[in-house]
Homo-oligomer: A and B are copies of this chain.
Amino acid sequence: MFRHVVLLSWIEDATEEQKAEVAKRLRDLPGVIPELRSYLVGPDAGATQGNFSFAVVADFDSPEDYAIYRDHPAHRSVIDECIAPILASRAAVQYHTA
């Protein structure tokens, strides 16, 4: 399995509505990108100081399937319309979990 992990932090001015819209829009993606074998996203639980704001963990059969997700227009739309306007910082790793 090939896993893609992204942690995002939001700017201070981000509204609750903007943050909620990121989760809502991302959770629609498995319906339009069948390469997503598992897709669990969500806001930080708030239990630990210094954490990032939001996590995305996506599992694929292969790096090629990850690339399809990465470049998919439905995914790029969420990034451009919902994530980019409130993004402060981003950390990512892709790794083989087998």
Contact = CB atoms under 8 A, between A and B. Distances in A.
A93 B91 CA distance: 11
Contacts of A2: 45
A42 B5 CA distance: 11
A92 interface: yes
Q: How large is the interface on A (under 10, 10 to 19, 20 to 34, 35 or more residues)?
A: 20 to 34
Do most interface residues of chain A lie in helix, strand or loop, or is the interface mixed?
Answer: strand
Interface string A47-68: 1101111110100000100000
B45 A96 contact: yes
Given A45-B63, A63-B47, A92-B52, A40 B7 contact: no
26 contacts: A2-B45, A3-B40, A3-B55, A5-B5, A5-B55, A7-B7, A7-B91, A7-B92, A40-B97, A42-B95, A42-B97, A44-B93, A44-B94, A45-B63, A45-B94, A45-B95, A48-B94, A50-B92, A51-B92, A52-B91, A52-B92, A52-B93, A53-B93, A54-B93, A54-B95, A55-B95
